[in-house]
Amino acid sequence: MGIVFNNVVKQYPNTASPAVDDVSLEIKEGEFIVFLGPSGCGKTTLLKMVNRLYDPTSGTISIDGVDIRHVQAEQLRRGIGYVIQQNGLFPHMTIEANIAVVPRLLNWDEAKIDKRIDELLELVHLDPKVFRKRRPSQLSGGQQQRVGIARALAADPKVMLMDEPFGAIDAITRSSLQEELQRIQRLTKKTILFVTHDVEEAFRLADRIIIMQAGKVVQFAAPYDILMQPANDFIRQLVGERDVYRKMGFLKVEDVYASGDEAAAASEGVSLNDDLKLVFNRMVEERVREYPVVDANNRRVGFVTMDLILTKLAN
Ligand SMILES: Nc1ncnc2c1ncn2[C@@H]1O[C@H](COP(=O)(O)OP(=O)(O)O)[C@@H](O)[C@H]1O
Ligand SMILES: [Mg+2]
């Protein structure tokens, strides 16, 4: 199941070359996929074909085994959440009415919609009592994007398309939104197709990254594999191959730790999901060369040492 692209081409009228050029991909259900590439490489075009804002010139896209050409566009879109940079909220409607748009189209009863609005606002950490009756202009950019995410999740779609959703948000708000999105995905297990031109964002969020260049997919792999084996010079440059410290910022403890109990458990543990750069900084500050590693349930799973980090990164 999941989403499958088969030889997808999109050529706009009167253009010399296709915006999306023979893309074939298999995305698994529940994956967090990030499309990364410079402006103009075809990311938005590719995404818009998934909810049929555009149709391919040739090739096919299927979701859970169904060719989306055989699904009515409106019906398809109700099953796919869509979040864009300019959040697309209706300015004249309250936050609650914005979130209720798709549930109302689906004829949910009002009590169920009401409950869903509270649930979603809580999920994106906006207090329903404070925000339900406000209008989009009475919210900060970051809060508006939270509402955009809540709205996209309203009817519990299996797939979320997100096109540079945090592109216009300041760095600090952006990183808290990134964290929340990861949390939401862990809770809801959506399949997420997320577009960005920001390398750090891609590495922070993705289960797998699709790197695009001039309409083509040039690499499709897990972040760690892209760092360690960039497929071409363009990608090598993009991820800054030789810069060990920079690489660390893209990695987590789970990418380098060793299982087993050898390390002293004297100090407080770090968790699998911690940023390697922060852990490395802490080692340097505390003059400690190793930490025990714990999982999300605080169960000991292994250890991480400075040597392990440096050896992995030196490869
Ligand atoms: N509606 C359109 N008509 C003609 N060309 C377009 C249209 N939309 C995008 N393009 C062109 O297609 C290419 C890919 O654009 P886009 O998918 O928006 O890239 P990205 O999202 O990666 O910046 C670009 O060369 C762009 O100029
Ligand atoms: Mg774009």
Ligand 1 pocket, residue 107 CB under 6 Å: no
Question: d(Cα 305, Cα 227) in Å, to the nearest integer?
Answer: 20
Question: d(Cα 243, Cα 149) in Å, to the nearest integer?
Answer: 34
pLDDT at res. 264: 53
> Which residues are registered as beta bridge partners of 185?
none
- pTM given for the model: 0.84
pLDDT at res. 183: 87
- For ligand 1, atom 11, the nearest C-alpha belongs to 19
Is it the case that residue 262 has pLDDT exceeding 90? Answer: no
Instruction: Among 10, 35, 45, name the best residue to mutate to test ligand 1's pocket (greatest count of ligand atoms within 8 A of Cβ).
Output: 45
Ligand 1: centre distance to CA 42 (Å): 6
Ligand 1 pocket, residue 14 CB under 6 Å: no
| Least reliable range by pLDDT among 42-46, 50-54, 179-183, 265-269 | 265-269
Ligand 2: centre distance to CA 297 (Å): 38
Ligand 1: centre distance to CA 19 (Å): 6
Domain boundaries, the chain: 3-239, 247-314
Handedness of CA 296, 190, 120, 98 (dihedral sign): positive
Which atom belonging to ligand 1 lies closest to the Cα atom of 46? 17
Ligand 1 pocket, residue 196 CB under 6 Å: no
Question: d(Cα 265, Cα 247) in Å, to the nearest integer?
Answer: 27
The chain-wide mean pLDDT, for the chain, equals 90
Contact 223, 34 (CB under 8 A): no
Is it the case that residue 83 has pLDDT exceeding 70? Answer: yes
DSSP H or E run through 138: none
| Mean pLDDT to the nearest integer, 18-32 | 97
Which percentage of the chain shows pLDDT scores above 70?
Answer: 96
Ligand 1 pocket, residue 15 CB under 6 Å: yes
- For ligand 1, atom 18, the nearest C-alpha belongs to 44
Candidates 3.20.20.70, 1.10.8.50, 3.40.50.1000, 3.40.50.300; CATH matching 3-239: 3.40.50.300
Is it the case that residue 265 has pLDDT exceeding 60? Answer: no
- For ligand 1, atom 3, the nearest C-alpha belongs to 12
The pLDDT confidence band at residue 283, using thresholds 50, 70 and 90, is: confident
| Least reliable range by pLDDT among 52-66, 83-97, 261-275 | 261-275
Structure tokens of 152? 């996209």
pLDDT at res. 94: 97
Which atom belonging to ligand 1 lies closest to the Cα atom of 195? 21
247-314: which CATH topology?
CBS domain Like (3.90.1280)
| Mean pLDDT to the nearest integer, 252-261 | 87
- Residue 61's nearest CA partner among 39, 78, 42, 76 is 76
pLDDT of 173-189, one tens digit each? 888 889 889 888 988 88
| Least reliable range by pLDDT among 4-18, 124-138, 249-263, 297-311 | 249-263
